[in-house]
């Protein structure tokens, strides 16, 4: 059985889709943030691979094809942005200010916590790109001398937590403005947060899509400066 699964080109795709589908069902049934589909699928895949004795390389032989969909999916984020173009033009100062402030807040928080817990330079730069998309974050981490695999894990965790906590945080701090919600999610939780933003509404999704790209740019430009602070 294990040998069959290891050589199958479809096992990785199937187990990933089953895990995500299970997460969607649980989220719809119980409406609990903890049952985030991405989080459920991650736990499900890890558990399944452990129980079946399948190594990651064998799993990724099939699962890697899902990664090819990331590029067209990212391009599709431009659609809601185009639909809200007039809103963007009318509020560009506040939008750009929010994005830059969010990126700087991420840098400062990582720097402060790294100092507090006496992290090494390598550990510090590994965490710096935590709030941008995986593709950009991997490049930034590698360029700064970080541990890329840990950076990827931190980026995923950041996105999932942002997705899970978004509604709670907005409710506690009484954030009702759609633009503010979208910018906050895209700036802090990249694509995973944008999924939640799109669930909230079209304006939120469009602003979050813009924030992903702009936060990535600000992070690339500012990462070297902050990396040299420690």
Q: What band does 6 get if pLDDT is binned at 50, 70 and 90? A: low
The yes-or-no verdict on residue 222 having pLDDT over 90 is yes
User: 3-class DSSP state for residue 27?
Assistant: helix
Nearest CA to 167 out of 204, 216, 130 is that of 204
Which residues have a Cβ under 8 Å from the Cβ of 174 and sit 6 or more positions away?
none
Q: What band does 9 get if pLDDT is binned at 50, 70 and 90? A: confident
Q: Looking at 173-201, list the stretches that DSSP marks H as alpha helix, in order from N- to C-terminal side.
A: 178-200
Which residues have a Cβ under 8 Å from the Cβ of 63 and sit 6 or more positions away?
12, 13, 15, 16
Average pLDDT over residues 197-221: 91
Q: What's the CA gap between 52 and 14, in Å, rounded? A: 14
Average pLDDT over residues 215-219: 91
Buried b (16+ CB within 10 A) or exposed e, 10-20: ebbbebbeebb
Domain boundaries, the chain: 2-68, 76-227
Q: What's the CA gap between 202 and 2, in Å, rounded? A: 45
Residue 68 has a pLDDT of 80
Residue 101 has a pLDDT of 95
The yes-or-no verdict on residue 4 having pLDDT over 70 is no
Average pLDDT over residues 196-223: 91
Sign of CA dihedral 134, 137, 139, 141: negative
Nearest CA to 52 out of 101, 108, 14 is that of 14
Compute the mean pLDDT over every residue in the chain, rounded to the nearest whole number.
89
For the CA atoms of 134, 139, 145, 147, the dihedral, rounded to the nearest 10 degrees, stands at 30
Q: Is the entire prediction scored with pTM above 0.85?
A: no
pLDDT digits (tens, 9 = 90+) for 80-101: 778 888 888 889 999 999 999 9
Average pLDDT over residues 138-158: 91
Lowest mean pLDDT among 32-36, 111-115, 216-220: 32-36
Average pLDDT over residues 34-41: 85
The yes-or-no verdict on residue 131 having pLDDT over 90 is yes
């Amino acid at each position: 059985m294990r040998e069959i699964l290891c050589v199958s080109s479809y096992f990785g795709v199937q187990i990933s889709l089953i895990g995500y589908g299970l997460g969607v069902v649980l989220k719809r049934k119980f409406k609990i943030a903890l049952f985030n589909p991405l989080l459920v699928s991650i736990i499900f895949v890890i558990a399944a691979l452990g129980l079946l004795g399948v190594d990651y390389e064998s799993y990724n032989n099939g699962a890697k094809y899902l990664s090819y969909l990331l590029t067209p999916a990212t391009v599709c984020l431009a659609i809601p942005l185009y639909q809200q173009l007039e809103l963007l033009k009318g509020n560009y100062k506040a939008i750009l200010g929010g994005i830059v402030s969010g990126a700087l807040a991420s840098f400062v928080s990582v720097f402060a916590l790294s100092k507090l817990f006496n992290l090494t330079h390598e550990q510090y730069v590994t965490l710096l790109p935590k709030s941008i998309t995986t593709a950009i974050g991997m490049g930034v981490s590698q360029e700064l001398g970080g541990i890329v695999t840990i950076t990827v894990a931190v980026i995923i965790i950041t996105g999932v937590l942002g997705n899970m906590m978004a509604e709670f945080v907005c409710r506690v701090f009484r954030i009702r403005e759609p633009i503010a919600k979208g910018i906050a999610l895209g700036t802090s939780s990249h694509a995973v947060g944008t999924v939640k933003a799109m669930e909230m509404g079209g304006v939120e999704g469009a602003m979050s899509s813009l924030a992903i790209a702009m936060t990535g740019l600000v992070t690339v430009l500012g990462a070297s400066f902050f990396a040299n602070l420690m």
